A and B are shown apart, each in its own frame.
Chain A
Amino acid sequence: MSNLSSRFIHQLERLVGKAFVLGKPEVLTTYECDACVLMKAKPDLVVLPGNTQEVAEVIRLCHQNKIPFIARGAGTGLSGGTLPMRGGIFIGLSRMNRILEINPDNRTATVEAGVVNAWLNREARPYNLFYAPDPSSQGACTLGGNIAENAGGIHCVKYGVTVDHILGLEVVTPQGEIVWLGGTHGHFKGVNWVGLFVGSEGTFGIVTKAIVRLMPMPETTRVFLATFDRVENATDAVAAIMANNIQPSALEFMDEFTIRAVNQAFNTGFPETSQAVLLIEIDGTTLSIEQAEQNLRKLLERFEATQIQQAETETERTRLWKARKGAVAAYGRILPAFYLHDCVIPRSKLTEILKTIQAIGQKYDVIIGNVFHAGDGNLHPNILLDPDDPAMVQRVLAAGEEMIRACLAVGGVLSGEHGIGIEKSEFMPLMFTEDELLVMQRLKSVFDPDQLANPEKIFPTRSSCGETRKGLPHKLVQTGAGWI
């Protein structure tokens, strides 16, 4: 059943209840990957604690027995961030899904880590408040996972990413202690523990509760769909919009391939004659967005937008955003899987890099759909693939690596919101020197000297400068975990 001793398993069952310790192979299969289906590895066991105290007791037991543990939310991650590289147990937080408080006076909410992102917005709306980070998977992904990855989303171009909205965290340390970091005020004394924990990919401990900042709903919101006959007109328009301080609350790009996929999947009716569309949202007071709209329209016309449609109703706005957020799912009608990259580049390089991505797609004979957070320069080239076609998989991996190198060459970074996980860990030497990686790794030792919390993530197994993996992820081969 697993590599764990029966004594250890019995102890876990006593702590959380037998029904919440899962070990049957067919059940573990459902936990073998996140949304990046290229990499798979099963945990030895899944434990589903019901509260912070139980999480702490489970971790204390792991600590005593030197068993690695990994927090798991909804499994919507895209970087293999929850793969058990050294075996061990998953600590699933799905039962810890309560919104404990919405405080409209302080504009904060206190939530358990297993709360689904969209639930919080549903509950905050009656107070005319909202939680800004909104990953495309917000209908399923949990706030604990968002915190681990420092998730972004469509609206972070104006409102910032997860770390900008977290005021306090309750965490369980890798030794099983419970501690609060920050608080309702969001300040710190000497060390910004919250800032360090957010985005640490579960490698410092497990977040069990969070105090998050809620924002007042904007008085007015307008959404526009702009179509372009040339991709470069769309990307140049993005750079100009941001340079001219129109400050959209969302600025998203879709290429022709994605437009067709979305139309087929959702019957959206985007104009298929276009090479690219931009979805642009502006919000604020009625006064402010009148002027922003005028400026926006002028710019879009200057960059030869062929159509500028405004979503006239709330239903229409929702339909447009649903199509955008469902774009990746729409690719599933074409090929069964995809490999999604997440580099961020300077916005002024968008035109150049999209041409490069297109050329790489042709070179490796792979299909690439581009749908991304253009306002942030956060690319999401989706390389479609059939996991049962090993030759195609090799081409996809090679194309992916070439794209990453191209993005870094124009001053980009590896990841904007999905995290490094296991999927991009071998690329880290492309951005950091060996010394820098060691200095960074020392931070983990502060919190987790025994290397039990989500081990072997973020950092490469071979950290020699400039050397990256060739072919299969080194760690997966090394640990015997499954590949595809």
Chain B
Amino acid sequence: MTVSNTFLAALSSHLPITSSERGPILVVPSVEDLHSVIRLANKTKTPLEPDLGQATTRPNAVLLDLSPLNRTLSYRPEEHLITIESGIRIDQLASTLEGQDQRLALTYPGDRSLLSVLGNEQLSLQSTRYGSLRQWVVGIHAITGDGHLIHYGGEVVKNVTGYDMGKLFIGSHHRFGLITSVVLKVLPKPEMTRSFLFHFDELDHALRLSQKLNQLVSSAEMFSVFRTKSTFGWQVLLSLSGLKTVVQTESDRVHQEAQSLNTDLQELFLAPQAVQRWTHKLDWTHPEEPEALVIRVALPQKSLLDFPYRIFSDAELKNADMLIPMHTQQLWLRWVSVHVPPGETLEALKRMVESQQGFIEVMRVPAALLHLMDQYNQETNPVLSRWTTSLKQQYDPHGILMPVPQAPAIGGASPYGA
């Protein structure tokens, strides 16, 4: 009997277990149950992974279905704060807020769980205006890898009481603990939203327009330049939202600019479903997306606009999907499995990015290239590497939760050696 089977057998009389092609999934109905599961996992040294719709990364890891942790614990519309359990689906959360004419600052595909977007600090199309998810979390409850229940913050909008443990857990890919609930700041729905899509053959033209629009509008909420193989050519998605008078005036400016450039402009009427469609379309780490290599490049804004695309061959560039969410200092690149560029290209990209004080992070890989996660996501600075290892030892000494990326063994294969 494997370790995970022993573990599951011990829990089977208490908790439901479902089966899937990715292996057995333990359904966790409450925070108390999750606490017990983590403590037992520590005793039996059983690896655990929240079920985010993808295969486990470790043999014998037990997937946890945390979707029953979906309760709204407190909602104070007048304070613009909601406290929810982390297993809640984004569409369920959005629907709760909708009832009070409120919304999340950052939207994600409705079938994502809040836990999944907290874990990797998921990019949102609204990051252009509203920054990163961590800026909207004012309180957190979590269970550390070694089974300690902790909280930080609360239903207040400002707080410096002790170390901000939320900063440790949000974006750390479930390596040190599992977030069980958060207090989120939310927003009232805007009076008006209008959205536009521009089409270009050349990236340069798309970027030039973006810089111009940047000076013309102040109410941009979604503002991204992207290309996918399904869209052909380059597109600029611009969504204005806010006070009606502002959005109307700035929309007129957008139309005028499009006319002056003789650009192909399409005005989109973004019903919530349409927003969801775009959100889904540009969420390249979504489990339903086809297998692909997805890389996030973090660079200063100016470097992004001057990005040396010549680093790629024509074929690599042609086969790459690209997404530049304006003002987020990020560029996303995606190649479906058969078009993944060779290791030398990725190394050249890494060197170029690091020379500008940026970094690349592999966000998703085809199953056969799993080792790229370790290769590109490990902490190479020795001090940061030491701290990361120490954090793991402090909060998950038995390595129950997701592992920290490790340097490949000496003499290991090249990225494509496998």
Chain A interface (Cβ within 8 Å of chain B)? 103, 105-108, 149-150, 152, 156, 160-161, 163-164, 168, 173, 177, 179-181, 183-193, 195-196, 199-200, 219, 239, 242-243, 245, 284-285, 287-288, 290-292, 344-348, 373, 376-378, 411-420, 424, 428, 431-432, 435-440, 442-447, 458
Residues in B whose Cβ lies below 8 Å from that of A346: 76, 79, 81, 155-156
B408 at interface by CB-CB < 8 Å:
no
Residues in B whose Cβ lies below 8 Å from that of A288: 218-219, 242-243, 245-246
Known: A185-B358, A193-B384, A442-B394. 14 other contacts (CB 8 A): A106-B301, A180-B357, A185-B299, A189-B379, A191-B168, A191-B172, A191-B387, A287-B243, A290-B245, A348-B76, A413-B153, A413-B159, A416-B159, A439-B150
Query: What are 7 A-B contacts with C-beta separation under 8 Å?
Result: A108-B300, A185-B329, A190-B175, A199-B160, A291-B246, A440-B150, A447-B387
Q: Closest B-chain residue to A445, C-beta based?
A: B394
Q: How far is the CA of A418 from the CA of B158 in the complex (A)?
A: 11
Q: How far is the CA of A291 from the CA of B162 in the complex (A)?
A: 40
Asked if A173 meets B163 with Cβ closer than 8 Å, knowing A242-B80, A377-B156, the reply is no
Total A-B residue contacts, Cβ distance less than 8 Å: 213
B132: min CB distance to chain A, Å: 8
CB pair B134 A195 closer than 8 Å: yes
Q: How far is the CA of A196 from the CA of B246 in the complex (A)?
A: 38
Q: How far is the CA of A439 from the CA of B149 in the complex (A)?
A: 9
B80: min CB distance to chain A, Å: 7
A175: min CB distance to chain B, Å: 9
Residues in B whose Cβ lies below 8 Å from that of A347: 79, 157
Asked if A431 meets B161 with Cβ closer than 8 Å, knowing A177-B383, A442-B394, the reply is yes
Interface positions of B from 118 to 136, Cβ below 8 Å from A = 131, 134-135
Asked if A415 meets B159 with Cβ closer than 8 Å, knowing A183-B357, A435-B149, the reply is yes
A129: min CB distance to chain B, Å: 13
Residue-by-residue, is B142-177 near A (CB-CB < 8 Å gives 1, otherwise 0)? 001000111101111111111111011011110100
B74: min CB distance to chain A, Å: 9
Residues in B whose Cβ lies below 8 Å from that of A414: 161
> Which 6 A-B pairs give the minimum distances between C-beta atoms?
A195-B167, A185-B329, A187-B298, A184-B300, A243-B78, A185-B298
Q: Closest A-chain residue to B171, C-beta based?
A: A192
Q: How far is the CA of A156 from the CA of B379 in the complex (A)?
A: 33
Interface positions of B from 345 to 379, Cβ below 8 Å from A = 357-359, 361, 377, 379
Point out which of B134, B160, B171, B300 has the most chain A C-beta atoms below 10 A from its C-beta: B160
Q: Closest A-chain residue to B156, C-beta based?
A: A344
Residues in A whose Cβ lies below 8 Å from that of B377: 189-190
Q: How far is the CA of A152 from the CA of B245 in the complex (A)?
A: 32
Q: How far is the CA of A177 from the CA of B387 in the complex (A)?
A: 12
Residues in B whose Cβ lies below 8 Å from that of A192: 134, 167-168, 170-172
CB pair B188 A105 closer than 8 Å: no
DSSP class of B's interface residues: helix, strand, loop or mixed?
mixed
Q: How far is the CA of A15 from the CA of B135 in the complex (A)?
A: 41
B234 at interface by CB-CB < 8 Å:
no
CB pair B163 A443 closer than 8 Å: yes
CB pair A156 B158 closer than 8 Å: yes
Among A185, A291, A376, the residue within 8 A (CB) of B157 is A376
Asked if A189 meets B162 with Cβ closer than 8 Å, knowing A183-B298, A291-B245, A348-B76, the reply is no
CB pair B384 A179 closer than 8 Å: yes
Residue-by-residue, is B315-358 near A (CB-CB < 8 Å gives 1, otherwise 0)? 00000000000000110000000000000000000000000011
Residues in A whose Cβ lies below 8 Å from that of B163: 196, 199-200, 440, 443-444, 458
A170: min CB distance to chain B, Å: 12
Interface positions of B from 378 to 400, Cβ below 8 Å from A = 379, 381, 383-384, 387-388, 390-391, 394-395
Among B157, B219, B329, B381, the residue within 8 A (CB) of A179 is B381
Residues in B whose Cβ lies below 8 Å from that of A418: 160
Point out which of A149, A164, A183 has the most chain B C-beta atoms below 10 A from its C-beta: A183
Asked if A191 meets B165 with Cβ closer than 8 Å, knowing A245-B188, A346-B76, the reply is no
Asked if A164 meets B135 with Cβ closer than 8 Å, knowing A106-B300, A190-B388, A245-B188, the reply is yes
Q: Closest A-chain residue to B356, C-beta based?
A: A184
Among B158, B161, B383, the residue within 8 A (CB) of A152 is B158
B405 at interface by CB-CB < 8 Å:
yes
Residues in A whose Cβ lies below 8 Å from that of B379: 189-191
A236: min CB distance to chain B, Å: 11
Residues in A whose Cβ lies below 8 Å from that of B173: 190
B231 at interface by CB-CB < 8 Å:
no
Q: How far is the CA of A424 from the CA of B412 in the complex (A)?
A: 52
Q: How far is the CA of A160 from the CA of B130 in the complex (A)?
A: 11
Q: Closest B-chain residue to A160, C-beta based?
A: B135
B326: min CB distance to chain A, Å: 13
Q: How far is the CA of A431 from the CA of B165 in the complex (A)?
A: 14
Residues in A whose Cβ lies below 8 Å from that of B242: 288
Q: How far is the CA of A108 from the CA of B359 in the complex (A)?
A: 18
B104 at interface by CB-CB < 8 Å:
no
A463: min CB distance to chain B, Å: 12
CB pair B387 A193 closer than 8 Å: yes
B390: min CB distance to chain A, Å: 4
Q: How far is the CA of A122 from the CA of B190 in the complex (A)?
A: 34
Q: How far is the CA of A220 from the CA of B398 in the complex (A)?
A: 56
Residue-by-residue, is B289-310 near A (CB-CB < 8 Å gives 1, otherwise 0)? 0000000101111100000000
Residues in A whose Cβ lies below 8 Å from that of B148: 435-436, 438-439
B311: min CB distance to chain A, Å: 18
Among B77, B156, B245, B301, the residue within 8 A (CB) of A413 is B156
CB pair A189 B359 closer than 8 Å: yes
A173: min CB distance to chain B, Å: 6
B262 at interface by CB-CB < 8 Å:
no
Q: How far is the CA of A345 from the CA of B81 in the complex (A)?
A: 13
B28 at interface by CB-CB < 8 Å:
no
B249 at interface by CB-CB < 8 Å:
yes
Asked if A413 meets B161 with Cβ closer than 8 Å, knowing A189-B379, A243-B78, A435-B148, the reply is yes
Among B153, B302, B394, the residue within 8 A (CB) of A105 is B302
Q: How far is the CA of A188 from the CA of B135 in the complex (A)?
A: 14
A474: min CB distance to chain B, Å: 18
Q: Closest A-chain residue to B404, C-beta based?
A: A190
Residues in B whose Cβ lies below 8 Å from that of A183: 298, 300, 357-359
B373: min CB distance to chain A, Å: 11
Residues in B whose Cβ lies below 8 Å from that of A411: 154-156
Residues in A whose Cβ lies below 8 Å from that of B249: 287
Q: How far is the CA of A287 from the CA of B191 in the complex (A)?
A: 14
B286: min CB distance to chain A, Å: 20
Q: Closest A-chain residue to B300, C-beta based?
A: A184
Residues in A whose Cβ lies below 8 Å from that of B153: 413
Q: How far is the CA of A183 from the CA of B304 in the complex (A)?
A: 14
Residue-by-residue, is B244-255 near A (CB-CB < 8 Å gives 1, otherwise 0)? 011001000000
Q: Closest B-chain residue to A459, C-beta based?
A: B162
Q: How far is the CA of A432 from the CA of B148 in the complex (A)?
A: 13
CB pair A195 B156 closer than 8 Å: no
B296: min CB distance to chain A, Å: 8
Q: How far is the CA of A164 from the CA of B167 in the complex (A)?
A: 12
Q: How far is the CA of A192 from the CA of B134 in the complex (A)?
A: 10
Q: How far is the CA of A243 from the CA of B246 in the complex (A)?
A: 21
Q: How far is the CA of A106 from the CA of B356 in the complex (A)?
A: 13
Among A181, A185, A195, A458, the residue within 8 A (CB) of B162 is A458
